Amino acid sequence: MYVICSDLEGVFVPEVWINVAEKTGIPELRLTTRDVPDYNVLMRSRIKILEEKGLKLKDIQEVIAQIRPLDGALDFIGWIKERTQFIVVSDTFIQFAEPLMKQLGRPTLFCHSLVIDEENRIIDYKLRQKDPKRKTVEALQGMQYQVIAMGDSYNDISMLKQAEVGILFRPPDNVIKDHPELPVVYDYEELKKILVKYI
Amino acid sequence: MYVICSDLEGVFVPEVWINVAEKTGIPELRLTTRDVPDYNVLMRSRIKILEEKGLKLKDIQEVIAQIRPLDGALDFIGWIKERTQFIVVSDTFIQFAEPLMKQLGRPTLFCHSLVIDEENRIIDYKLRQKDPKRKTVEALQGMQYQVIAMGDSYNDISMLKQAEVGILFRPPDNVIKDHPELPVVYDYEELKKILVKYI
């Protein structure tokens, strides 16, 4: 039986940090895993910028609360959940994800967590484990499931390759160029045409 | 971070087979894992009875479509999902579970599947793996989650014991007697009082 593991940002909601960069007027926060493949380098840089600018968790959460899912995302998730099990596997943090997950009907989410100090400053982050997206697929395969994985960025690649079926959804050109072996789709209708072969 | 794994029947919905026994007037179908700890013995017997009585998958599905979640189940699941990740781990079959999961907002479900012939008869069943409930907890622990598990029957015990926190929910007396080491609660409010310590 096939289950679906999907990335969150870029697939169902816009990139959170790009929105934060725009609303806060801090262009340096625009960078994502699409631009910087090393997630640790990226996160350390984000935390340093927030500290320098005096932005706290609640400031970021206010921005995230204004983000809406991509057009058609909720219907597409509904379509999947009528057919099989659906798990969101993201490198986001639970403190950021909540207002987005609520809008998506709170599907199961596996992600990370931020470390917040008593003054509501983001002082660190806790990655659940190394290569968490691939390990989620492996855990499901260990439970005798087959996995269809979807994502758009460098941090999705190991998940897409570990899965029985891996699909790039609206990836930027550099990801396509670096991974010509993966199929690429650009909208939910195209994605459905692949998924109906399995679920 | 704690996630929750819960049994389905007896915790969020009534026992499916007891309902099927009542609506079909076949008392032999009343037996559940509460009564017969060996699930394979139980399922072979059920399939044999259905064959003898000429009952097909659609007949059972019609009965299941009439079953409603237990009072307060949907609110309680909503309460959990606001706080952490929630996974239903059941020894039911995907073909039976769908009308129940729909009523529960389709949380993620890990379960089994039936083998149906071209005349819609249930001819066999496919267990996803041996001891699937314990293995689900182990898979989540391998993903660096801690697990709170809830269930009511013999087939939940290995899951409850593998979890960091295992709770019996409305178990029958024989389960309590055989497992005095596990805490027992009888309603969702009592359960919340335990859960708020962790989530």
Q: Is A113 on the interface with B (CB under 8 A)?
A: yes
User: For residue B40, how far is the Cα from the chain centroid?
Assistant: 15
ipTM of the complex: 0.93
CA distance B153 to chain A (A): 21
Q: Check residue B150 and give its pLDDT.
A: 98
Residues in B touching A136 (Cβ below 8 Å): 143
Q: What is the CA radius of gyration of chain B?
A: 17
pLDDT digits (tens, 9 = 90+) for B97-137: 999 999 999 999 999 999 999 999 999 999 999 999 999 99
Q: Is B135 on the interface with A (CB under 8 A)?
A: yes
Residues in A touching B144 (Cβ below 8 Å): 128-129
What are the extents of the domains in chain B? 2-16+66-195
**3-class SS string, B137-189:** HHHHHHCCCEEEEEECCHHHHHHHHHCCEEEEECCCHHHHHHCCCCCEECCHH
Residue B86 neighbours by CB distance under 10 Å: 22
Q: Is A66 on the interface with B (CB under 8 A)?
A: no
- Is the CB of A142 less than 8 angstroms away from the CB of B132? no
pLDDT digits (tens, 9 = 90+) for A83-122: 999 999 999 999 999 999 999 999 999 999 999 999 999 9
Residues in B touching A140 (Cβ below 8 Å): 139
Greatest CA span in chain A, whole angstroms? 51
Residues in B touching A113 (Cβ below 8 Å): 1
Residues in A touching B108 (Cβ below 8 Å): 85-87, 107-108
According to CATH, the superfamily of the domain at A2-16+66-195 is HAD superfamily/HAD-like (3.40.50.1000)
Q: Check residue A36 and give its pLDDT.
A: 83
**The dihedral sign for the CA sequence B153, B157, B158, B159:** positive
- Is the CB of A144 less than 8 angstroms away from the CB of B128? yes
- Is the CB of A107 less than 8 angstroms away from the CB of B108? yes
Q: Check residue A22 and give its pLDDT.
A: 92
Q: Check residue B26 and give its pLDDT.
A: 93
Q: If you measure CA to CA, which chain A residue comes closest to B142?
A: A139
Q: If you measure CA to CA, which chain A residue comes closest to B100?
A: A82
Q: Is B109 on the interface with A (CB under 8 A)?
A: yes
Q: Which residue has the higher pLDDT, A5 or A40?
A: A5
Rounded-to-integer distance, Cα B190 and Cα B188, Å: 5
Average pLDDT on B156-179 reads 97
B7 labelled catalytic: yes
Nearest to A106 by CA among B144, B79, B145, B100: B79
Residues in A touching B106 (Cβ below 8 Å): 81-82
- Is the CB of A132 less than 8 angstroms away from the CB of B110? no
Q: Is B136 on the interface with A (CB under 8 A)?
A: yes
Q: If you measure CA to CA, which chain B residue comes closest to A105?
A: B105
Greatest CA span in chain B, whole angstroms? 51
CA distance B25 to chain A (A): 31
Q: Is A69 on the interface with B (CB under 8 A)?
A: no
pLDDT at B33 over 80: no
pLDDT at A160 over 90: yes
B52 labelled catalytic: no
Q: Check residue A72 and give its pLDDT.
A: 98
Determine which of A6, A90, A144 to mutate to test the interface with B (most B C-beta atoms within 10 Å): A144
pLDDT digits (tens, 9 = 90+) for A22-31: 988 999 998 8
- Is the CB of A129 less than 8 angstroms away from the CB of B144? yes
Confidence band of B60 (pLDDT split at 50, 70, 90)? very high
Nearest to B12 by CA among B148, B150, B142, B137: B150
